[in-house]
Amino acid sequence: MHGVRTYLLIFIVSKLQVQVPPTTTTVGGTTRWNPSPDQIRVLEMLYRGGMRTPNSFQIEQITEELGKYGRIEGKNVFYWFQNHKARERQKQKRAALLTLSTTTTASTLLPPAAETKEGVETKKEEACEDASSRKRRCRAWEDVVVHGGGDDAGTEVADDYYTDDDVTLELFPLRPDQGK
């Protein structure tokens, strides 16, 4: 045997006759998620705790937790972390730029014109400033696929990689229309 491969597929098939009266924009109505303060609090707590890109299982759990404070979906959590991360990054980038231009401690010999020019250019080309742990965590889904792995001895399946089962949560945007 090749070890226990567990996967979870969630299909949410919603059939609805959208007969929603456009007049009442009450509870269900809003188009996009509007996070409640409680939800934001929890999310920021998690973010400060170090969570940046939660996996599907974590998203599931977070969604469940935040569901106590209002309607929410997994994709909201997903997007929130993406946006928060990205905007934190660009905010820091901007701050670094500002620091560079205002700090007169180190390089006080640069003329302001040069600074401005560099700033504009940096906006385009200096993409990453972090550069510390630049490893990409790939190999996702790897065990979700039923593949006849090469280990026939069955000695070590390297299960220490995952603590629990492999959970695959498929999340696709649904576009209203597509076609040629």
Contacts to a second copy from residues 113-152, by CB under 8 A? 137, 139-152
Say how many C-beta atoms besides its own lie within 10 A of residue 166's C-beta: 19
Cβ–Cβ under 8 Å, residues 52 and 81: yes
For DNA, give the closer residue by CB, 92 or 103: 92
The answer to whether residue 180 forms part of the interface with DNA (CB under 7 A) is no
Please name the residue ranges forming H helices in 103-168. Answer: 112-125
Q: Which member of 35, 57, 84, 89 binds a second copy (CB under 8 A)? A: 57
The answer to whether residue 2 forms part of the interface with DNA (CB under 7 A) is no
For DNA, give the closer residue by CB, 134 or 180: 134
Cβ–Cβ under 8 Å, residues 70 and 115: no
Look at residue 128 and give the partner it binds from a second copy, DNA, none, a contact being a CB closer than 5 to 8 Å depending on partner kind: DNA
Give the span between the Cα atoms of 40 and 94, in whole angstroms: 24
Indicate left, alpha or beta for 177 from its phi (over 0: left) and psi (-120 to 50: alpha): beta
Cβ–Cβ under 8 Å, residues 63 and 73: yes
For DNA, give the closer residue by CB, 18 or 106: 18
Q: Binding to DNA (CB under 7 A): which residues in 22-61?
A: 30-35, 40, 53
The answer to whether residue 80 forms part of the interface with a second copy (CB under 8 A) is no
Q: Binding to a second copy (CB under 8 A): which residues in 86-105?
A: none
**DSSP secondary-structure letter at 179?**
-
**DSSP secondary-structure letter at 153?**
S
The answer to whether residue 179 forms part of the interface with a second copy (CB under 8 A) is yes
Select from 145, 174, 143, 146 the least CA-distant residue to 12.
Answer: 174
Look at residue 61 and give the partner it binds from a second copy, DNA, none, a contact being a CB closer than 5 to 8 Å depending on partner kind: none
Task: Name the minimum Å distance from CB 105 to DNA.
Answer: 27
- Residue ranges in contact with DNA by CB under 7 A: 30-35, 40, 53, 75-76, 79-80, 82-87, 89-90, 124, 127-128, 134-141, 173, 175
